[in-house]
Amino acid sequence: MVTFNIFFEPIQKFNERITKIDNYISFNEVLINWTRDSTINELTAPLLGKENCIFRMDTYSLSGSLLFENVELLVKIFEISGILEVYLHNPPKRFLNSLKQGISLKNINIEESSFTKITDVQLQNVANDLKEKIIGQEKAKKNLLRKLVAQLVRPNTKPLVLMFYGEPGIGKTETAKQLSATLYCNENIIREQMSMVGGESSVKYFKSTNHSEDSFSKTLLNRESNVILLDEFALAPPFFHSTFFQVFDEGVYEDQNYKVDLSNSIIICTTNFKNRVEMENNIDIALLSRFDGFIKFYPLSIDEKKQILKNTYSKIIASESIIPEYLIHLDETKILNTVESMLNNLPNVRAIRKYVEDVIADQLLEIVIDKREQ
């Protein structure tokens, strides 16, 4: 009897898993021959001589409704062709339910990937990295660490839901990305720009009904980090906010295709509002009450801007960021002094970076033109 091994996990982890499997065929190679008029012989032919069959996540999209409507036929062609093990990556609910109804549950093995709660050692690493890599925002960093401790000690696996608020470009997103880098050794944070939400494509993405469509649930299933960033959360239409009630309360995101476990996640929403009153005027109170904390980010001081200026300049002149032949023409002291004289008029990191780029470009302008005319 064929055994169906089902894995709900990121694509990277599934790919690593199947590299250890020998003598397999991807089911996509079978789908080439699969039509409503296909014969058993046509469907089994590619599978003959193979012991294992792999269903990647795109298989369900490519198959249309054929797989969903013909689970009994699917099992039959596996049995006839001699397939022993089938490995399925993130099957949609409809297909999984059909499979459970069509075969004995003892022939189905299900594994669900999950993220564990952060540890005290990880929290110490977060504290060190925030101190070293995030300039300023001492109050915000301390408040964040306090909330992480609260998540560490509480007995349940509910997500930690935070609102980072304050003026744009002063470290909210950078702090969230650094948190992901420290906890999960990557900056592949799930980041959704909520100010762009609103049209039909957004509805399909966040409230997916068709398994062939890209969706937020698929994005979450494939996440490599359990830090989820919802940028400019308040700018999404109110009816989208309702999507997150269950997420914030229970750590579950569900649409018609998938139910995603978000246990122990850290969900960070950002807004450019400067106080709670502005938030209450734009976000449903019932949803605001589900946040575990509101962390204010303050305007940058001159000393903090100077440090950001130095870091920004260092990154721009790094060998991979600028053509080396132009470096010898840059006067670092002059560039830094020029930008520093304007820091009172540069409110955030983005403004500082753009002005540094402009000053560098101004120094190089004549050189580039002269070179072209030679």
Which residues, in sequence order, are CB contacts of 188 under 8 Å at separation 6+? 180, 223, 224, 225
Q: Which of 250, 100, 230 is nearest to 162 (CA)?
A: 230
40-62 mean pLDDT = 89
Beta bridge partners of 54: 26, 87
What does each C-alpha distance from 208 to 146, 216, 219 come to in angstroms? 36, 8, 12
Hunting for tokens 């560490």 — which residue is that? 152
The pLDDT of residue 58 is 84
Residue 371's pLDDT band, with cuts at 50, 70 and 90, is low
Q: CATH number of 120-296: 3.90.650.10, 1.10.3720.10, 3.40.50.300, 3.40.50.620?
A: 3.40.50.300
Range 3-112 classified under CATH 3.40.50: yes
| pLDDT above 60 (res 212) | yes
C-alpha span between 157 and 263 (Å, rounded) = 5
Residue 57 has pLDDT above 90, yes or no: no
Residue 319, pLDDT score:
65
For 148-187, write each residue's pLDDT tens digit. 999 999 999 999 999 999 999 999 999 999 999 999 987 7
Residue 69: Cβ within 10 Å count: 14
Q: Which helix or strand (DSSP H or E) is residue 271 part of?
A: strand 266-271
Considering only CA atoms, give the Rg of the chain.
Answer: 26
Distance CA 88, CA 317 (A): 47
What backbone torsions phi and psi does residue 207 show, to the nearest 5 degrees? -130, 50
Domains 3-112 and 120-296 share a fold: yes
The whole-number pLDDT of residue 238 equals 82
Q: Where are the domains of the chain?
A: 3-112, 120-296, 302-373
- Phi and psi angles of residue 235, each rounded to the nearest 5 degrees, phi first: -85, -10
**Mean pLDDT of the chain, nearest integer:** 90
| pLDDT tens-digit map of 69-87 | 788 888 899 999 999 999 9
CB 215 within 8 A of CB 205: yes
Higher per-residue pLDDT: 13 or 188: 13
User: What predicted TM-score, i.e. pTM, was given to this entire model?
Assistant: 0.88
**Tokens read off for 174:** 């950078």
pLDDT of 66 reads 73
**Unique residue bearing structure tokens 């399909």:** 204
User: In the predicted model, is pLDDT for residue 208 greater than 80?
Assistant: no
pLDDT tens digits, one per residue of 17-37: 999 899 999 998 888 878 888
Q: Which tokens hold the place of 329?
A: 């023409």
Burial label for 42, CB within 10 Å (0-12, 13-18, 19+), is middle
User: Between 200 and 177, whose confidence is greater?
Assistant: 177
Q: In what order do the strands lie in the sheet with 24-26?
A: 24-26, 52-55, 85-89, 3-8, 108-112
Q: Is the pLDDT of residue 323 over 90?
A: no
Please report, rounded to a whole number, the percentage of residues in the chain having pLDDT higher than 90.
Answer: 63
Q: What are phi and psi of 316, to 5 degrees?
A: -65, -40
SS3 of 314-334: the string is HHHCCCCCCCHHHHCCCCHHH
Query: DSSP per residue over 295-313, as a string?
Result: EE-PPPPHHHHHHHHHHHH
**Cβ atoms of 247 and 253 closer than 8 Å:** yes
CA distance 95 to 246: 24
**Cβ neighbours of residue 15 under 8 Å, at least 6 residues apart?**
none
Contact residues for 122 (Cβ-Cβ < 8 A; gap 6+):
182, 183
Among candidate residues 172, 173, 179, 171, the one with its CA nearest the CA of residue 191: 173
Across 113-250, where does the E strand assignment appear? 160-165, 190-193, 227-231
Give 232's pLDDT tier (boundaries 50, 70, 90): very high
CA-based nearest residue to 317, from 331, 338, 302? 331
Higher pLDDT, 202 or 162: 162
**From the CB of residue 98, how many other CB atoms can be counted at a distance below 10 Å?**
19
Q: State residue 372's pLDDT score.
A: 54
